[in-house]
Amino acid sequence: MGIRIESVSAMTAFVQAADMLSFKLAGQHLGLSSSAIGKTIAKLEDQLGVRLFHRSTRAIALTQEGEIFLDRCRTFLSGLEAAEAELANTTTSLRGRLRVGVPVASELLTPIFGEFMERYPEIELDLDYNDRFVDVIDDGFDAVIRSGEVSDSRLMHVKLGDFTNRLVASPAYLERMGVPRVSSDLMKHRLLHHRFYDTGKLGDWGPGIPEGTVLPVALAVTSFVPLTDLAEGGHGIASLPYFAIAKRLKEDRLREVLPEAAKKTRALRLLWPRSKFPLPKISVFVKFMTDSLKSNLKENAE
C-alpha cells in the first residue's frame, strides 16, 4: 500500500480511536462523525487485510494486529510531524492566530498579554476570558491558564507560580459592619461567594474555616470580576485570588480580613496540547508567559 494523503488521514483516525478507545471521541477530536471514523478504519482494515479492532455495541478494543500497527503508525506520524515542524521553523516567521483561555480575574495577566503583542506583532492573540472548566483540546485552545492540578495526559503544562486566596472587604464595609477577629465572626457578616460554573459548588474559603462550617451566603456568582467589584463596592466579604486583587489591596480599595488565618496554596499553570514538535508560536508564548508570570507572581507573593 503506497503512502497517500488518505492513508495518513486514516492512520491519524486509527491512532485517535486507539488512544481514546472510542470512535465517537476520536471523531469529536478530529471534527468528524463517529460513523465517518468507523468507515475510515473499516476501509483501512480492508486495505491491510487484517482486523484492527474488536467491536461490540458498547466498546472497542485493539486486536493483536492493531497493537502492532499502532506502534508503526505512531512512528510514522511522529516522523511526519517532525518534518513539518522543522520545515515550519525554517520557512515561516512567528505568526498566526493563538487562542488562549484565561481566567476572568486577570489584573496581573492582561498587561503581560500587551507586552507579548508588542514583542510578537504578527501573532494574533485570541483571548477567551472565562471562569468555566474548558477542555483544552476538544474546545480548540492552543493554550489555557488555569489553577489546580493537571490529570489529562494529552497536555503539557508548566507551573507559573503559587498563590493563595485572601478574605477581603472594602474599608467602608468594615467600618460599617466591623472587622472579624476570628473565623467564627464571619457568621455575622454578609459573605460573597464564588460558585463554580460547571459543578454549581461554592468555592472553598480555606483551611482557616473549621470543617463542617456552613457559611452564610449573601450572594453567589460564577465570575470573579463582579465578585471583586461587589466586595470593593462595600457589599460584603469575599474570598478572592491574591494575584487578581493585589493592586486593589495596595491602593486600599480592598482590605484583607483574618490575615493570620491558614490559607490554601494553589498552583497557577499554563497548559497546552502535548506534541513532540509544538508550533513555534506556542513555544514562544509558553516561554514568554513562564518568564513574565513567574517573576510577577513572585513580586506579588506574601
DSSP string, 196-235: -TTT-PBPP--TTSPTT-----SEEES-HHHHHHHHHTTS
What letter would DSSP give residue 271? E
Q: Which of 82-96, 97-111, 147-161, 253-267 has the lowest mean pLDDT?
A: 82-96
Residue 210 pLDDT greater than 50, yes or no: yes
Q: For residue range 272-296, what is the model confidence (pLDDT) as tens digits? A: 888 766 788 888 999 999 888 765 6
Give the per-residue pLDDT at 267.
85
> To 10 degrees, the CA torsion angle through 109, 111, 114, 118?
-120
45: how many CB neighbours lie within 10 A of its CB? 19
Give the per-residue pLDDT at 49.
93
Give the per-residue pLDDT at 1.
43
Q: How far is CA 42 from CA 4, 6, 46, 58, in A?
A: 17, 13, 6, 18
Residue 197 pLDDT greater than 80, yes or no: no
Q: For residue range 120-129, what is the model confidence (pLDDT) as tens digits? A: 999 999 998 8
Q: Identify the band that residue 54 occupies on the pLDDT scale cut at 50, 70 and 90.
A: very high
Give the per-residue pLDDT at 83.
72
Q: What global pTM score does this model have?
A: 0.61
Q: How far apart, in whole angstroms, are the C-alpha atoms of residue 275 and residue 272?
A: 9
**Structural contact between residues 51 and 45, judged by C-beta atoms closer than 8 angstroms:** yes
Give the per-residue pLDDT at 37.
93
Q: How far apart, in whole angstroms, are the C-alpha atoms of residue 52 and residue 23?
A: 13
Q: Which of 16-20, 172-176, 230-234 has the lowest mean pLDDT?
A: 16-20
Top-confidence residue, 273 or 90: 273
Give the per-residue pLDDT at 52.
95
> Which domains does the chain possess?
5-91 (1.10.10.10), 94-302 (3.40.190.290)
Give the per-residue pLDDT at 277.
65
Listed residue (145, 239, 245) closest to 194, CA to CA: 239
Q: Could you tell me the three cell numbers for 166? A: 485572601
Run of H or E residues at 275: none
Give the per-residue pLDDT at 46.
92
Mean residue pLDDT across the chain = 86
Q: Which residues contact 45 (CB under 8 A, 6 or more apart)?
A: 51, 52
Q: Identify the band that residue 42 occupies on the pLDDT scale cut at 50, 70 and 90.
A: very high
Q: Which residues contact 152 (CB under 8 A, 6 or more apart)?
A: 136, 271
Amino acid identity at 43:
K
**Structural contact between residues 135 and 143, judged by C-beta atoms closer than 8 angstroms:** no
